Amino acid sequence: MYEILSESKGNLIGVKLIGEVPKDEREEVISKLKSLGEEHGKIRLLIELHEFEAFGSETFAAYMEFLLPVVSIIEKFAFVGHSKLQEIAVEIDSFFAKMFGIKEEYFDYTKLDEAWNWLKED
């Protein structure tokens, strides 16, 4: 399941992903992100994970399926999680994100406000 966070406005959007997100819901989120991209050009995205235990190959494939259609419209990407494994995955991913001109950072779930502030910075 997913939820659009109330702090979202303008080209800033936060999406809370709760547990396993079914394909049809991932497609809804992608559609919302694309619409924001059409309206604002570039978007600043915050993804917050909840009740998300694994980060295996299936999860990675779903993650890539989620991000690839919108990679060209993301300017900044804040990833809010709760595990060292997620942090390492974001560190690796940020190397590739730079190739697309995306600034990407990992934030522990206790630092959600910092993540929003970072997204708002120029």
pLDDT digits (tens, 9 = 90+) for 66-111: 778 899 999 999 999 988 888 888 888 888 889 999 999 999 999 9
CB 103 within 8 A of CB 97: yes
User: Taking 70 as the threshold, does the pLDDT of residue 43 lie above it?
Assistant: yes
User: Taking 70 as the threshold, does the pLDDT of residue 30 lie above it?
Assistant: yes
Q: How many domains does the chain divide into?
A: 1
What range does the domain containing 23 cover?
A: 2-111
CB atoms within 10 A of CB 66: 19
Q: How much is the pLDDT for 26?
A: 86
Structure tokens at 50: 């909840």
User: Average pLDDT, whole number, for the chain?
Assistant: 88
- Whole-prediction pTM: 0.88
- The three-class DSSP label of residue 54 is coil
Q: Is residue 119 part of a domain?
A: no
Q: Is residue 116 part of a domain?
A: no
